[in-house]
Amino acid sequence: MGSLSLVSEKDTYGMDGRSRRFFAPCPRGLEGVLEQELHDLGVPATSRTDGGVGFTAPWSTMYWVNLKSHIASRVLWEVGHNPYQTEDDVYRAAYALPWPDWFAPSQTIKVKVSARRCPLPSLDFLTLRIKDAVCDKFVAMRQRRPSVDTERPHIKLDAFLDQSTLTLYLDTSGEPLFKRGYRIASVDAPLRENLAAGILRLAGWTPSDVLLDPMCGGGTIALEAALMARRIPPGMARHFAFERLLIHDDKLWGRLREAALAKRLAEVPAAIYASDHDPAMVKIAQRAFQGAGVVVDVGVKQSDILDLEAPAEQGIMVINPPYGVRLSRPDELASLYPKLGNWLKQRFAGWRAYVLTGDARVPKLIGLAPSKRIPLFNGDLECRLYEFVIVPGGARRRLGMR
């Protein structure tokens, strides 16, 4: 596992070295690239499912994935897995777990329940029963109970029910992992950082490739690329919920952080470019690059997209244009896309362009045949990532691509 070999193989909980079950959710459509990323991080045993990837690994690997994953939304520790038929079965399964061994009664909690084909009538009632079970266990063992805080809890408990099985998790991440801790200002309709990182993976971008984001908004795509290229851990600037657990090993965590930080590169090996027509967005992007320590690695400027020239003979372009759902009017976009297609054909022959959009009209309006159509979800919004291989004009004529 790379730098993990620098630390003790003993596990934190019980110091026994045994593996535990975790689940890493991610934006839908990125399960495959998340699974590959986990393998790259040294996770040997994974199981992909809709909305995330389960994995079996030592406690130290959970630290590593929280710190290093660009694509996971969070890391959930599976603490219980039981069959059920009634609400009382759910209560008993939750009560059986040693919650006071994992966190203190002075810490606040929040219980979140989700389900698929669950036969029980009320998820709200199940949430209450699980909360009661946890608090009752604390009263029995510690004579105190934790309080509930639905806004900023110290500890988050997740429960998932299918038709017959209850799975209980402790959230080891806290704030979602796409909150890297670098941003100062927010933007309208932002692209989440882990979705941006996943798009770069799907595009096959590597740090040796020239990258251009000509509609960069707050700079998320370029920032993720710079972090990848510099090998800067995406979780370096933030804290995690596992640090609040009673079983947290601060010395082990410190060694892992130091091992990861030691692998940072002094400079980006390839050129990364970003631009936006809105000068306010360019300033927000620059502040984000500054906060992450990569401001010298990204060439950013204010420019209309159609005024840009290709910065290199070959490269990868990633565009996240307005969708006509949250920003811009559909008629404005209908006039933009044909111009965008002509701009790509005239100035970016030899490039691969990737367009993430929820607008199904894009392939027809842009006037290019996509070589890939990858379904992705930006939050709850269903999108497609279209790949356009921009062939030089002479080659287009030979291929009949007029």
336 band by pLDDT with thresholds 50, 70 and 90: confident
Mean pLDDT, range 188-207, rounded to an integer: 92
CA dihedral 38→43→46→48, nearest 10 degrees, is -10
Q: What is the pLDDT of residue 329?
A: 62
- How would you write 169-208 as a 3-class SS string? EEECCCCCCCCCCCCCCCCCCCCCHHHHHHHHHHCCCCCC
- Does residue 203 carry a pLDDT above 60? yes
Per residue in 82-104, pLDDT (tens digit) is 999 999 999 999 999 999 999 99
- Does residue 43 carry a pLDDT above 60? yes
142 band by pLDDT with thresholds 50, 70 and 90: very high
The amino acid present at 223, given as its one-letter code, is: L
272-276: strand order across its sheet:
298-302, 272-276, 211-213, 316-319, 352-357, 381-389, 372-378
322 band by pLDDT with thresholds 50, 70 and 90: confident
Q: What is the pLDDT of residue 181?
A: 86
- Does residue 13 carry a pLDDT above 90? no
Class assignment of domain 193-234+265-398?
A: alpha beta
The amino acid present at 374, given as its one-letter code, is: I
C-alpha distance from residue 251 to each of 10, 123, 258, 313 (Å) = 13, 39, 11, 48
With contact defined as beta carbons under 8 Å apart, do 272 and 299 qualify? yes
Mean pLDDT, range 107-123, rounded to an integer: 97
* Domain definitions of the chain by residue range: 2-171, 193-234+265-398
Per residue in 342-366, pLDDT (tens digit) is 999 999 999 999 999 988 888 899 9
Q: What is the pLDDT of residue 186?
A: 67
Which residues are CB-neighbours of 177 under 8 A, at least 6 positions away? Answer: 66, 69, 72, 73, 74, 75, 194, 234, 235
332 band by pLDDT with thresholds 50, 70 and 90: confident
The amino acid present at 132, given as its one-letter code, is: D
Q: Which of 7-21, 116-130, 316-330, 387-401 has the highest mean pLDDT?
A: 116-130
The verdict on domain 2-171 having CATH code 3.30.420.10 is no
187 band by pLDDT with thresholds 50, 70 and 90: low
Angle at 74 between CA 42 and CA 326, to 5 degrees: 125
Per residue in 223-270, pLDDT (tens digit) is 999 999 999 999 999 999 999 999 999 999 999 999 999 999 987 777
- Does residue 395 carry a pLDDT above 50? no
Of 11 and 73, more confident: 73
Q: What is the pLDDT of residue 163?
A: 96
Per residue in 282-291, pLDDT (tens digit) is 999 999 999 9
Q: What is the pLDDT of residue 393?
A: 66
Q: What is the pLDDT of residue 2?
A: 40
Q: What is the pLDDT of residue 132?
A: 98
C-alpha distance from residue 308 to each of 319, 323, 356 (Å) = 13, 21, 19
At 162, give phi and psi (nearest 5°).
Answer: -100, -155
Angle at 245 between CA 243 and CA 249, to 5 degrees: 60
Q: What is the pLDDT of residue 4?
A: 41
- Does residue 331 carry a pLDDT above 90? no
Residues in the chain: 402
Which residues are CB-neighbours of 402 under 8 A, at least 6 positions away? Answer: 396
Q: Which residues pair with 376 in a beta bridge?
A: 383
Mean pLDDT, range 283-312, rounded to an integer: 94
